[in-house]
Amino acid sequence: MAPSARPTVPSIRARKARDGSEPLVMVTAYDAPGARIAHEAGVDMILVGDSVAMVVLGYDDTLQVTVDDLAHHTAAVARAKPDCLIVGDLPWMSYHVSTEETVRNAAQLVRAGAQCVKLEGGRKRVPMIEALVDAEIPVMGHLGLTPQSVHAMGGFRVQAKESEAALQLVADAKALQHAGCFAIVLEGVPDEVARMVTDALDIPTIGIGAGRHCDGQVLVFHDVLGLEDRVVPKFVRRYAELKGSAVEAMSAFAADVRCGAFPADAESYHLDAEQSEALALYGSGRG
């Protein structure tokens, strides 16, 4: 069931579990049908994630997509007018060069229909976050396993597994909050570390592979629905097996076409009797 009021940045910022708020629900979506599904399911936020690179466009990492790609998918989601906050993901190299470029690139996502943007990284992103907030563009942070750092991390690996790194993560989260982020995604960190970060912040944390203590959870659309069945990370729970159902349905269609069972008479258009007769006469040479 869809919620009655569309969530806003201030309403999301206020959702801390320790204050009795219901956990936030975020899911990725990349097109209008996906946005309609998220809307009808009543999720709070749609992340038009750079994961589109891997789950939709077939790349091996998220580094291949551009601001134009993300704007294209954000616009498709926004056209569905979901009652969800739309978060546009800033892709790699869209917020690394200068604050001016960062603001311009974020503005492209906002003009495509995002109400806020997300970017990856800790303290070193503070100037970019401040510039965005200054330009009235709300920012969601993203810490821990940051997929755009895949090469620097040496692969998609759980982060902050040692006490020093855990303390750095808490410091990064506080710096992001201080710079003006309204929420922070915590990806691929131990449950205990996510709890420390969540306790240290006044803004909500949204976990993915970060245990049970975050203020909300996010999963990738294709993982929730079982459309992606090649890799199943430990933190994914599948709520359907749509890939299997889709292959079954497509095979049935192919079989029906091949044996002549599709289309049936009821699935075909017909001429009315008068036109049919005229054509028959024409065909017989009497017309």
Q: At what angle do helices 191-200 and 163-179 cross, to 10 degrees?
A: 30
CB 145 to ligand KIV: min, Å: 9
Under the rule (CB under 6 A), what is the footprint of ligand KIV? 28, 47, 49-51, 89, 185, 187, 208, 218, 220
Q: Which is nearer to ligand KIV, 201 or 208 (CB)?
A: 208
Nearest to 86 by CA among 152, 158, 167, 28: 28
Q: Which is nearer to ligand KIV, 60 or 274 (CB)?
A: 60
CA-to-CA dists, residue 211 to 28, 55, 194, angstroms: 19, 23, 7
CA-to-CA dists, residue 127 to 95, 101, 115, 176, 201, angstroms: 10, 12, 20, 10, 20
Dihedral over Cα of 278, 284, 286, 287: its sign: positive
CB 47 to ligand KIV: min, Å: 6
Residue nearest to ligand KIV (CB): 49
CB 163 to ligand KIV: min, Å: 25
CB 89 to ligand KIV: min, Å: 5
List, in sequence order, the alpha helices (H) in the chain.
9-13, 32-41, 52-55, 67-79, 99-112, 126-134, 150-153, 163-179, 191-200, 221-224, 242-259, 273-284
Q: Which is nearer to ligand KIV, 25 or 260 (CB)?
A: 25
228 tagged catalytic: no
**Cβ proximity of 56 and 17 under 8 Å:** no
How many CB atoms sit inside 10 A of residue 175's CB? 18
Q: Which is nearer to ligand KIV, 185 or 224 (CB)?
A: 185
Gyration radius of the chain over CA positions: 24
**Phi/psi at 89 (nearest 5 deg)?**
-85, 125
Instruction: Name the one residue in this structure whose structure tokens are 């320790």.
Output: 18
Residue tagged active-site, from 40, 100, 162, 187 = 187
Write out the catalytic residue numbers: 187
